[in-house]
A and B are shown apart, each in its own frame.
Chain A
Amino acid sequence: MLWRGLENEPSLFVFSFKSMSVMSKDDSKMDSVKYGLLKLIDVSGFKVFDPVVRLCFREEPGKQVGEIVRYMVIPIIFVAFCIGAWAVIAPRHKTKAGRVPDPSQVLSALSVNHTLHVRENEKEADFNALDSRREDRIASVEVTLKEKETEEVELKKKLAEVEVACQAEIDQRLAPLNARLEKLRTSHKEAADARKSEIVTLSEKVVAETAAEDELTALMASDVKLKDEAKEKEKRVKELIEDVKSNPPKNLKRTQLAYNGLAIEIAHLKKRLDYLGKSNRGEKVAVAKADLAKKEEKLKAADEPAGLLAAAKSVVRSEEKVDRIASQSYPRGTTIWFQVWRSLFTVFIGFIMAALVAIPFGIMCGLNRVVMACLTPIISIFKPVSPVVWLLIFQIVVGAFFPNPETHPFFVMMSNIPWVSSLKVNPAMVYSACTVAMCAVWPALVNTALGVSSIDQDHLNVAKVLKLGLWQRLVKIVIPSSLPLVFAGLRISLGVGWMVLIAAEALSGSEGLGKYVWDQYQNGGSMSFANIIFACFVVGIIGFFLDRMMIILQRSVSFDDGAAVV
């Protein structure tokens, strides 16, 4: 019976095979696109999207849908559930810095921070704008300013209306609470008075020796206790009142926020006009030049030696002033994206420093057991040291190299490199980068040593038979065969470096995401808690992409992986 059942199967199989082969003939071009995409997904490590691509090309739709549900939809639902739980739980927890922000507040932190960045860009462009571009900008800003101002007037009116309307609502909500508080107070007062007279009579009795002293003290103790209880009750009601006051109706809150936003925007537009007008660099240069022309005229007109000397002096001074103003740049405020760039730059500098040390030393360790034995104690003792300790050590040790950072040739050089100058390299950044390097060096070092020491004996035999020299052996055999492990180590290093960097920046005060978080924590504004959580997401997302980048690099250098072809 069983045998017969099995017999049927081959024909089924042949049938399905045939239908498949017909299909593949039709869209062989589509297939190449499909497999290209699949390979790309594989290389970049986004395996999750594999069934999506297969589904798009109609490969076993049932199976793919199952996979998508299992590995995409369910996780998405789970994440959504987590966010929902966050939204529900967070506002219930009151802290010194207000309630824990919910997802919508964090999202609005993103837009607020981004707007700040955009506005800084606008102001910088205004500061640098010249001639016709400047005039165009003035015109457009004035138009928007006028619009916004009319809008503001309307909104102000609306806000007043809403305030009145809401005041009634608030009063309505407050009235019972106030009444309750009043009632509590009078009842407590009455009770307290009653207790007081009781105590008085008792004390008289004690004097007359008709009652014991113990009784009096007991009565006093209970009086204190009851008073405390009464206070506690009143406090609770007061809290409720405060809560109503500090949580105005949503309508009012929204209007207030809109009004505040508009006011800030108007202030920004006015500031822009200032940068386009009086504070514009071109304008300032022109003023300084006019001044210079006046001075030069005076110099020409001077006829006695003392006056001539003084005039010449003032001409030189105004020439200097013109130069100084012409080379001024806009004093940019730090914004989140600037801080992100600076953090990325710092982590890459630290990472490259780590790689430059780790790879050669790792290779030496892997090739020579004596070197390995020499370095092992150093590695094992310094690997577990906290980044905070390294930062402090670097601040002292490296700091000694630049007693006057402003005039130190290194920083002067850095401020003259086109891309780097805008990042404002300073000693704090150097310390942070050194800390990153110090903490990131170990995984790369250990992995490189492992990769080199585990080279296939066959490949070493090839080198022996060919009598390759040391350099050839390194370049042709040792390095290529250990590259996959080296890159695995570098990937861990970069992850560690990014994690360490945030702490180092916070502690050293080097502009970057770490300092951003620290500043937000210190300034305690109404948005700062949301900003901190927003920064937490920024750090996480960037860390994720850095890791993905390293995965791709690692895949593309590993020789035994077919994915390397893409």
Chain B
Amino acid sequence: MSRRHDRRYVEIANLTKAYPNPFGKDIEVVKDFNMIMRKGEIVSVIGHSGCGKSTVLTMVAGLNPISSGSLAVEGREVSGPGPDRAVVFQSPCLLPWMSTFENVMLGVKQCYPHGTKKERREICEYYLNLVGLADSMNRYPREMSGGMQQRVGIARAIALKPQVLLLDEPFGRLDSLTRMDLQDVILDILDREKITTMVITHDVDEAIYMSDRICMMTNGPEATVGQILDVPFKRPRQRQDVLDDPHYYDFRFALIAFLEKQEHAKDSHVAAVKERLNAPEKAESEVVSV
């Protein structure tokens, strides 16, 4: 049965988020976002800060109600949050009163309600081992660095055996060395587990290295899919191979060109939308760092 949906594993159709505007029409932050993901595919969503990337992800996760449009996983429409769509947030979001092991166990208990204590324990240990935290199972979040905490967050998400893994700028708060480490950790796991993944990022290199396809979003309001770029590098990937590939810089150039165009188009776009809405709008700031 599942084979039938492999090519259209996740279907996002006309996803729209509108916030009420007391002085005019609703403000549509994201409008008609469409995306179809194959099973096991890694898709990056890239765009300027504040363009609505995270809004898309939280809607897919079910943490943010969808204004209109629909979302289907494996041919079935889903709404509301659930462990089938695990999320790794930008901040690790660990529960500070629980040890690493207990944090992972919290999710495992929910997803394997019929497993025995020993089985659950083994699952937790397996995933903590995968992210390289076999030695830190009994430590508390406050005793660990940000990178280690994020590893726990990743282990917790993957231990749920989700159908879709949603990563919301998972490395945004880490230094670049830790970030590269964690990218490899995640790619390694994803190659093994073949989980369909959506990564929100604003790092061009990260997007190219990690994903099979890159979805470039236009600037908000009314942000939507601007362009989609296929990254045909084979998996598993080696960072050096990817960097050495002659196409790497083409991809990079394409992405940056798109983002720069968005930057220039921004002012006129915002003005146009404002005019249409006849309402004041918060100016978008922050320039993307490449």
- B142 and A458 within 8 A (CB): no
In the complex, chain A residues whose CB is within 8 Å of the CB of B110: 466-468, 472
What is the bound-complex CA distance between A556 and B61, given in angstroms? 36
Minimum CB distance partner of A483 in chain B: B97
Q: Would you call B95 and A459 a contact (CB within 8 A)?
A: yes
Contact check, B93 vs A466: say whether CB atoms are below 8 A apart: no
**B97 and A461: CB pair below 8 A?**
no
> Which applies to chain B's interface (DSSP): helix, strand, loop or mixed?
loop
Closest chain-B Cβ to A170's Cβ sits at a distance in Å of 75
A271 within 8 A of B: no
From B23-31, B79-87, B195-203, B263-271, the one touching the partner chain is: B79-87
Contacts of B171 on A, CB cut-off 8 Å?
Answer: none
> Measuring CB to CB, which residues of chain B are less than 8 angstroms from any residue of chain A?
61-63, 81-83, 85-87, 89, 91, 93, 95-98, 106-107, 110, 140, 142, 160
A476 vs chain B, min Cβ distance (A): 6
Contact A480 B97 (CB under 8 A): yes
Given contacts A464-B63, A483-B97, A562-B142, 17 further A-B contacts (CB under 8 A): A461-B87, A461-B93, A464-B81, A465-B63, A465-B81, A465-B85, A466-B106, A466-B107, A466-B160, A467-B82, A467-B83, A476-B106, A480-B97, A481-B95, A481-B97, A559-B96, A560-B96
Please indicate the chain A residues that have their CB under 8 angstroms from the CB of B93 in the complex: 458-459, 461-462
The answer to whether A477 has its CB under 8 Å from any CB of chain B is: yes
Cβ contacts under 8 Å, A459 to chain B: 93, 95
For the complex, what is the distance from the CA of A477 to the CA of B110, rounded to whole Å? 14
Cβ contact within 8 Å between A477 and B95? yes
Number of A-B contacts (CB under 8 A): 53
Q: Which of A461, A466, A468 contacts B63, CB < 8 Å?
A: A461
Are A458 and B97 in contact, CB atoms less than 8 angstroms apart? no
B-chain residues with CB within 8 Å of residue A476 when the two chains form the complex = 95, 98, 106
Chain A: interface residue total (CB-CB under 8 A): 18
CB within 8 A of B61: which of A465, A472, A562?
A465
Q: Are B97 and A559 in contact (CB under 8 A)?
A: yes
Contact B142 A462 (CB under 8 A): no
Which residue of B83, B91, B97, B98 contacts A465 across the interface (Cβ within 8 Å)? B83
- The answer to whether A560 and B107 touch across the interface, beta carbons within 8 angstroms, is no
Contacts of A483 in B (CB 8 A): 97
A461: chain B residues within 8 A (beta carbon): 63, 81, 87, 89, 93
Instruction: Produce 1/0 per residue, A447-459, CB < 8 A to B.
Output: 0000000000011
Tell me the minimal C-beta distance from A554 to chain B in angstroms. 14
Give every chain A residue within 8 A of B83 (Cβ-Cβ): 465-467
A→B interface (CB under 8 Å): 458-459, 461-462, 464-468, 472, 476-477, 480-481, 483, 559-560, 562
A467 contact set on B, CB distance < 8 A: 81-83, 110
> Which of B62, B93, B140: most chain A CB closer than 10 A?
B93
Q: How far is the CA of A464 from the CA of B83 in the complex (A)?
A: 9
Contact A458 B91 (CB under 8 A): yes
* C-alpha gap A467/B86 in the complex (Å): 11
Q: Does A560 lie within 8 Å of B142, measured CB to CB?
A: yes
Central interface residue in A461, A466, A467, by most chain B CB within 10 Å? A466
Report whether over half of chain A's contact residues are helix, strand or loop; otherwise say mixed.
Answer: helix
How far, in Å, is B97 (CB) from chain A's closest CB? 4
A560, B87: Cα distance in complex, Å: 24
Contacts of B86 in A (CB 8 A): 465
A95 to chain B, nearest CB (A): 56
Q: In the complex, which residue of chain B has the Cβ closest to the Cβ of A460? A: B63
Residues in A with CB closer than 8 Å to B61 are 465
Find out whether the CB atom of A480 lies under 8 angstroms from the CB atom of B142: no
Q: Tell me the complex Cα distance, A465–B63, Å.
A: 8
Q: List 22 A-B contacts (CB under 8 A).
A: A458-B91, A461-B63, A461-B89, A462-B93, A462-B106, A464-B62, A464-B63, A465-B61, A465-B81, A465-B83, A465-B86, A466-B83, A466-B110, A466-B160, A467-B81, A467-B83, A468-B106, A468-B110, A476-B98, A476-B106, A560-B96, A560-B142
A459–B89 Cα distance when bound, in Å, is: 11
Question: Which residue among B89, B95, B106 has the maximum number of chain A CB atoms within 10 Å of its CB?
Answer: B95
Q: How far is the CA of A489 from the CA of B62 in the complex (A)?
A: 35
State how many angstroms separate the Cβ of A477 from the closest Cβ of chain B: 7
Tell me, in angstroms, the Cα distance from A556 to B80 when the chains sit together. 37
**A458, B81: Cβ atoms under 8 Å?**
no
How distant is the Cα of A476 from the Cα of B156 in the complex, in angstroms? 15
CB-CB under 8 A from A466, the residues of chain B are 83, 106-107, 110, 160
- A465 & B82 in contact (Cβ 8 Å cutoff): yes
| B142 CB contacts on chain A under 8 angstroms | 559-560, 562
Tell me the complex Cα distance, A476–B93, Å: 14
**Which residues from A are CB-within-8-Å of B140?**
559
Minimum CB–CB distance from B103 to chain A (whole Å) comes to: 9
Q: With A and B bound together, what is the CA distance between A468 and B107 in angstroms? A: 9
Considering only CB atoms, which chain B residue lies closest to A462 in the complex? B93
Chain B nearest CB: distance from A206 CB in Å? 100
Q: How far is the CB of A465 from chain B (nearest CB, A)?
A: 5
Contacts of A472 in B (CB 8 A): 110
Collect the chain B residues with CB atoms within 8 Å of residue A481's CB.
Answer: 95, 97
**From A560, which residue of chain B is reached at the shortest CB distance?**
B96
Q: Contacts of B62 on A, CB cut-off 8 Å?
A: 464
| B87 cross-chain contacts in A, Cβ below 8 A | 461, 465
C-alpha spacing A468/B81, complex, angstroms: 11
A residues less than 8 Å from B95 (CB atoms): 459, 462, 476-477, 480-481
Chain A residues whose C-beta falls within 8 Å of the C-beta of B91 in the assembled complex: 458
Distance in angstroms between the alpha carbons of A128 and B151 in the assembled complex? 69
Shortest distance from the beta carbon of B23 to any chain A beta carbon, whole Å: 27
Shortest CB distance B9–A (Å):
19
**Complex CA–CA separation, A466 to B93 (angstroms):** 13
**Which of A465, A468, A559 is most buried by chain B, counting CB atoms within 10 A of its CB?**
A465
CB distance from A481 to the nearest CB of B (A): 7
Closest to A464 in B: B81
A560 to B140, CA, bound (A): 10
How far apart sit A559 and B91, CA to CA, in the bound complex (Å)? 18
Cα separation A562 to B139 with both chains bound (whole Å) = 13
CA distance A465 to B95 in the complex (A): 14
A486 to chain B, nearest CB (A): 13
Q: How far is the CB of B62 from chain A (nearest CB, A)?
A: 8
How far is A459 from B63 in the complex, measured between Cα atoms in Å?
Answer: 12
**Shortest Cβ distance from residue A484 to the other chain B in the assembled complex, whole angstroms:** 10
User: What separation, in Å, do the CA atoms of A349 and B81 have in the docked complex?
Assistant: 44
| Complex Cα–Cα for A476 and B108 (A) | 14
Q: Which residue of A lies closest to B85 (CB)?
A: A465
- Give the chain A neighbours of B89 by CB distance below 8 A: 458, 461
B contact residues around A458 at 8 Å (CB): 89, 91, 93
A69 to B95, CA, bound (A): 43
